[in-house]
Amino acid sequence: MMKKIVLASASPRRKELLEQIGLRFEVDPTDHDEVRTTALGPHATARRISLGKAKTAARKHCDALIIAADTLVVLGDRVFGKPRTISQAREMLRALSGRVHSVVTGFTVLDAGTGKAISRSVETKVWMKKLTMEQIDAYVRTKEPLGKAGGYAIQGRGAVLVDRIEGDYSNVVGLPLSAVAEALREFGVSVLRDRGE
């Protein structure tokens, strides 16, 4: 009998990404407090937050496989979360304009029944175009940047702001699918099982 899989995230992007690879799962966001500290470094911070989210979800789903994640945008020693206001989004985009930044997603797959957990992180480099204030203002007016790490959505209108990326595209959207699929295999879940595996 296959374990129930729970995505502990309110992100519609993460839900769409997992649906894209044919995974069957439930969505149940956690209210885990995302306390970020730069002292650990972005990779360790993202992994720690994702593990906290997974453990919170495991209390409610005691015999499920939990998938949780946290995405950070890193520019030098600055870590950007999700802007809550238009002015915060504008400031983030001004800072990222014409520069290369990293998108770091930490994710955890946790077996709530056994306590076995795998936490990993993936980094993708993103080159942002040099943006004029008019371009930033026009994009911010769409309200798309709100609630998106770094203040842009590469899978939406924000695609026109990006010059190129190096690494996993789905990681920039919010969940590194290849790495997650690899972790799921270690729990006996193959996303390719219906295709002959």
Q: What is the pLDDT of residue 83?
A: 93
Across the range 52-73, mean pLDDT stands at 95
Q: With 70 as the cut, is the pLDDT of residue 82 above it?
A: yes
d(CA 73, CA 149): 6
Residue 45 token pair: 């911070």
The reported pTM is: 0.91
**Domains of the chain by start residue, with CATH:** 4-195 (3.90.950.10)
pLDDT band at residue 45 using 50, 70 and 90 as cut-offs:
very high
Q: Which residues, at least 6 apart from 138, have a Cβ–Cβ distance to it below 8 Å?
A: none
Q: What is the pLDDT of residues 109-167, one digit of tens each?
A: 999 999 999 999 999 999 999 999 999 999 999 999 998 999 999 999 999 999 999 99
| Residues carrying an active site annotation | 70
Q: Which helix (H) or strand (E) holds 122?
A: strand 117-128
d(CA 6, CA 187): 14
